[in-house]
Amino acid sequence: MTLDIDFVRAQFPAFSEPSLQGQAFFENAGGSYTCKPVIDRLMRYYSQRKVQPYAPYEASRLAGAEMDEARERMAAILGVEVDELSFGPSTTQNTYVLAQAFRQWMKPGDAIIVTNQDHEANTGSWRRLADEGIEIREWQIDPKTGHLNPEDLDPLLDETVRLVCFPHCSNVVGEINPVTEITAIAHAAGAFVCVDGVSYAPHGFANVSDLGPDIYLFSTYKTYGPHQGCMVIRRALAELLPNQGHFFNADTLYKRFTPAGPDHAQIAASAGMADYIELLATHHGAPEGDLTSRAEFVHDLMRAHEVELLQPLLDAVRDRNSVRLLGPDQAEKRAPTVSLSLTQAAEPVAAQLAEEGIMAGGGDFYAVRALQSMGVDPTQGVLRLSFTHYTSKAEVDQLITALDKVL
Ligand SMILES: Cc1ncc(COP(=O)(O)O)c(C=O)c1O
């Protein structure tokens, strides 16, 4: 079974939008197009249910029910319990709140391990805890390849380490890290694990229970949904960390780490991501079963399509003299988030690509530490070419032709 790309693209209004015709989108790692079920739900919420939810009148009851539905179905997709999932304004804000909770729970002299592969969202807030007497240890990537070696984690661990933070996949290196293996190493040393899944989730939702971390974060505006951060905190840790919400909400797990009032409409619209996964599962003949297993089926379909389209792109860029490809050159090892360090600043090259109908970006993508450690000047930045399962072979061909012209 292969992905029916025409069916997929029919679920995204952007592909039939006249102003976007002829333009191939390759900045998906920044934010994806939004699928129709999400847009429909958002429209319906704003036109029919835009009242304070959970009150005993019909519009309000429907509003609250739709928010609950979003949490229930997204939790099922991720293989976790409903109250282990919460929505916040963004992943960066979610890690900020989590860092406050860890700050209160940890003692001076305790340690946290961070990487220099992460987007700043899953490292900056943790590093700032050094000001409170927390020791920060950096797990470093290989400066040539950007690879984060699990063997280098072991020497950093001891009984003072409370938390290990790392990405499922870096937004510039693109390599998929072995989360289960790394989590097992950290857990064996008695540490909790926080995984930034933002760059992985657009390529298929992971079963977080099987993966194993205590915290798993991603941003729904990159997974065809509204602009929210989605956060899984497994029960044992969520109950242990001090409540960051209103005191009277302390017993409601999903309210403990979202101090701000949530964006009701966007949470409700997030159920549209589950609709989309269900649509793909049904259309491609996924076996009947729970949403977790149907989401895994869809994950594998997306991944196979992406890997097939990615290898020709990697082949086209890896041997050019004027280009340094960051991360692995084998599609199976990475997400289709391809960063190229050039002999010139990246953004003007992105502007040249725009003239060829390619939407891409250049810059540091908030992965300043990763670029610096690989010897890439963040002010020159990298040209990032990122796609997802809805990208067609014709678009990748268009990109390769355009690259031939501008590089
Ligand atoms: C890997 C990664 N982590 C975290 C973030 C931050 O996400 P948010 O914008 O939701 O704070 C990004 C955003 O680009 C990202 O690429």
Taking alpha carbons only, the member of 63, 64, 71 closest to residue 88 is 71
Closest-CA residue, ligand 1 atom 7, reads 91
Taking alpha carbons only, the member of 131, 123, 132 closest to residue 163 is 123
| CA 300 to chain centroid | 17
Laid out side by side, the sheet with 229-233 consists of 85-88, 229-233, 215-219, 192-196, 161-167, 111-115, 135-139
- pLDDT, tens digit, 9 for 90 and up, residues 181-195: 999 999 999 999 999
Judge contact between 88 and 229, C-beta under 8 A: yes
Taking 90 as the threshold, does the pLDDT of residue 319 lie above it?
no
The predicted pLDDT at position 195 comes to 98
The predicted pLDDT at position 261 comes to 83
Judge contact between 136 and 114, C-beta under 8 A: yes
Tokens representing residue 191 in the block: 């540490």
Q: How far is the CA of 121 from the centre of ligand 1 (A)?
A: 6
Cβ within 8 Å of residue 216, ≥6 positions away: 78, 168, 195, 197, 206, 208, 231, 232
Q: Sorting pLDDT into bands at 50, 70 and 90, what band is 234?
A: very high
Mutate to test the pocket of ligand 1, among 198, 200, 326 (most ligand atoms within 8 A of CB): 198
Report the mean per-residue pLDDT for the chain. Answer: 97
- pLDDT, tens digit, 9 for 90 and up, residues 38-54: 999 999 999 999 999 99
Ligand 1 neighbours by CB, cut-off 6 Å:
90-92, 119, 121-122, 167, 171, 196, 198-199, 219, 229
Q: Sorting pLDDT into bands at 50, 70 and 90, what band is 92?
A: very high
Q: How far is the CA of 214 from the centre of ligand 1 (A)?
A: 19
- pLDDT, tens digit, 9 for 90 and up, residues 251-303: 999 999 999 789 999 999 999 999 999 999 999 999 999 999 999 999 999 99
Taking alpha carbons only, the member of 199, 172, 171, 167 closest to residue 183 is 167
Q: What is the pTM of this model?
A: 0.98
- pLDDT, tens digit, 9 for 90 and up, residues 7-65: 999 999 999 999 999 999 999 999 999 999 999 999 999 999 999 999 999 999 999 99
> Alpha-carbon distance 290 to 256, whole Å?
28
| CA 173 to chain centroid | 14
The strand pairing partners of 195, in sequence order, are: 166, 216
Cβ within 8 Å of residue 38, ≥6 positions away: 224, 225, 226, 269, 270, 272, 273, 275, 276
> Alpha-carbon distance 338 to 307, whole Å?
12
The predicted pLDDT at position 260 comes to 79
Helices then strands, each counted (H, E), the chain: 14, 13
